[in-house]
Chain A
């Protein structure tokens, strides 16, 4: 039976990885991901989990090792953050097209310079196009549940793609929350053993990762992209079955008091919790504000987003990432593309918020909604604004 415990979210997430009975964990520590791999190294060392914990020399080595172990048919997990994720970058583009279902927890953190260990989404946004499935958790329970969902989806033979679960550094990873931990029997019911379509096996040699000459490279890239897009069906199935078994339903796009809303805030990750409080406050004041949360970032659920937000007049899109020199932030740009020339589409304004651990308070969300209402009447010069930055 599942048991509800007060637990640090990093440890709950690591417990999910343990319950998934992973075979190989190549990991290199970096703040704020550290508690996840520390806990896993402990459960391996004391015999609670029969897995290979590989102490690699760097994140580049960690991801290389992940590719090797996944190719050999081992259930593989790793975790990273910020510069660590960037040191993996060369290898991160490889398991997608090669169809290795590595599962990774990215504990989101700002990028240097200046040095910051605190939370925003610049690390994962810089790796947006690595071709992995990417989801975002808002709470500890979601982090635990989405981790199990990730193994289930990634390793499904119809998918066979790597998958990232994003959790916000510190503001989610290091807080203690009430989390319902599923039992081993329950997890085993949901997550079948990993049976790869192909594996490296000396008895049946195949080549993985050959050169893609110009005559074949485009076809290989399109095959990967189509597999990523087609994975949405299995992602949804995985969530449906999770809900059937354990009663918690997840969706690619989630809404809060959005039905008749004039202005919709759009968020990703743990600030969505504060945003919900802000919506309640604004609703109490009679303002028609609602919230749309993006849970599935890649493949981007376009039709679901249009359905959830298409009727609103204004979208106030929050980005936790400043894209220097760009027209606006990455989420803002995505949604502008989605709604480009769609008749009756909402007006979209982009707010860059919560960089490098700056708190995004209820008041800040109210400010964004107010500003979006003003911008809807008088179009601003820039398509985005860095909220709360001191102009002096």
Chain B
């Protein structure tokens, strides 16, 4: 759990709990939830981008060489990318420690 004690109480919470700026979900590190992570085998990957399309957190990032990397700040380990990958190039492994 992120520590919010220091920042927000009921007196300082925004009116109506509104979020007053657009695009603020970037600040919410969904990667904190992860108990397992995807590992991509570039030997099998055909750079189709299906993992990028399906990832609900935009955590599959294409690099300059066309392959994909996982942004672990946001990847919540849901496994959708592995499920959708047509080449079985993605394996889900448990987070250690």
Chain B: how many interface residues by the 8 Å CB criterion? 17
B9 CB within 8 Å of chain A: yes
The answer, among A99, A198, A206, A216, for a CB contact under 8 Å with B8, is A216
B48 within 8 A of A: no
Which of B15-23, B67-75, B76-84, B85-93 has 4 or more CB atoms under 8 Å from chain A?
B15-23
Q: Does A226 contact B (CB under 8 A)?
A: yes
Decide yes or no whether B63 CB sits under 8 A from chain A.
no
Question: A99, B13: Cβ atoms under 8 Å?
Answer: no
Number of interface residues of A (CB under 8 A): 23
User: Given A216-B8, A219-B8, A219-B10, is A208 in contact with B16 using a C-beta cutoff of 8 Å?
Assistant: yes
Specify which chain A residues have a CB less than 8 angstroms from the CB of B1 in the assembled complex: 214-215
Q: Which residue of A lies closest to B3 (CB)?
A: A215
> Is the CB–CB distance between B4 and A215 below 8 Å?
yes
CB <8 Å contact, B16 and A99: yes
Complex contact B13–A220 (CB within 8 A): yes
Residues of chain A within 8 A of B19, CB atoms compared: 206-207, 210
Interface residue ranges of A194-246 to B (CB < 8 Å)? 197-198, 205-210, 212, 214-216, 218-220, 222-223, 226
Interface of B is mostly: loop
B15 touches A198 (CB 8 A): yes
With A205-B22, A206-B21 already in contact, the answer to whether A219 and B15 are too (CB < 8 A) is: no
Partner of B13, one of A160, A207, A219: A219
Taking CB atoms, residues of chain B closer than 8 Å to A356 are: none
Would you give the 0/1 interface string for B45-64, flagging 1 where the beta carbon is closer than 8 Å to chain A? 00000000000000000000
Q: Which residues of A contact B4 (CB under 8 A)?
A: 215-216
Closest to B28 in A: A213
A98–B16 touching, CB < 8 Å: yes
Q: Which residues of B contact A206 (CB under 8 A)?
A: 18-22
Query: Is A290 at the interface (CB under 8 A from chain B)?
Result: no
**Cβ of B20 and Cβ of A99 under 8 Å apart?**
no
| Residue A169 CB within 8 A of the other chain | no
* B97 interface residue per 8 A CB criterion: no
A209 to B17 Cα, complex, angstroms = 7
- Tell whether A219 pairs with B2 under 8 Å between CB atoms, given A198-B15, A206-B19, A212-B17: no
Contact A99/B15 with A215-B1, A216-B4, A223-B10 known, Cβ cut-off 8 Å? yes
A97 at the interface (CB under 8 A from B): yes
What is the bound-complex CA distance between A296 and B32, given in angstroms? 46
Least distance between A280 CB and chain B CB atoms (Å): 48
Known contacts A207-B24, A215-B1; A198/B10 CB under 8 A: no
In the bound assembly, the distance between CA atoms of A99 and B16 in angstroms comes to 5
Residues from chain B with a CB closer than 8 A to the CB of A208 are: 16, 18
Binary contact readout B1-43 vs A (1 if CB under 8 angstroms, 0 otherwise):
1101000111101011111111010000000000000000000
Residues in B whose Cβ lies below 8 Å from that of A219: 8-10, 13
Chain A hits for B17, CB < 8 A: 97-98, 209-210, 212, 216, 220, 223
Complex CA gap A260/B41 in Å reads 88
Least Cβ–Cβ distance between A76 and chain B, in angstroms: 15
> B9 and A198: CB pair below 8 A?
no
Residue in A closest to B24 when the chains form the complex, CB atoms: A207
Cα distance A17–B22 in the bound complex, in angstroms: 35
Complexed CA–CA distance, A205 and B21 (Å): 7
State the Cβ distance, B75 to closest chain A Cβ, in Å: 18
- Asked if A222 contacts B10 (CB within 8 A), the reply is yes
State A226–B10 Cα separation when bound (angstroms). Answer: 9
Task: Please name all residues of chain A whose beta carbon is closer than 8 Å to the beta carbon of B9 when the two chains form the complex.
Answer: 219
**Across the interface, do B22 and A198 meet the contact criterion of CB distance under 8 Å?**
no
Residue of B whose beta carbon sits closest to that of A99: B16
Query: CA A215 – CA B8 in complex, angstroms?
Result: 9
Complex formed: what's the CA distance from A223 to B9 in Å? 9
Q: Which of A198, A215, A218 contacts B18 (CB 8 A)?
A: A198
Residue of B nearest to A225 (CB): B10
Q: How distant is A255 from chain B, measured CB to nearest CB, in Å? A: 35
Q: Would you give 23 A-B contacts (Cβ < 8 Å), ordered by A? A: A97-B16, A99-B15, A160-B15, A160-B16, A197-B15, A198-B15, A206-B18, A206-B19, A206-B21, A206-B22, A208-B16, A210-B18, A210-B19, A212-B17, A215-B1, A216-B13, A219-B8, A219-B10, A219-B13, A220-B10, A222-B10, A223-B17, A226-B10
- Top 3 A-B residue pairs of the complex, sorted by shortest distance between their CB atoms: A207-B19, A99-B16, A222-B10
For the A-B complex with A207-B24, A208-B18 known, give 6 more contacts whose Cβ atoms are closer than 8 Å. Answer: A100-B16, A198-B15, A208-B16, A212-B17, A219-B9, A219-B10
> What is B's interface to A at a CB cutoff of 8 Å?
1-2, 4, 8-11, 13, 15-22, 24
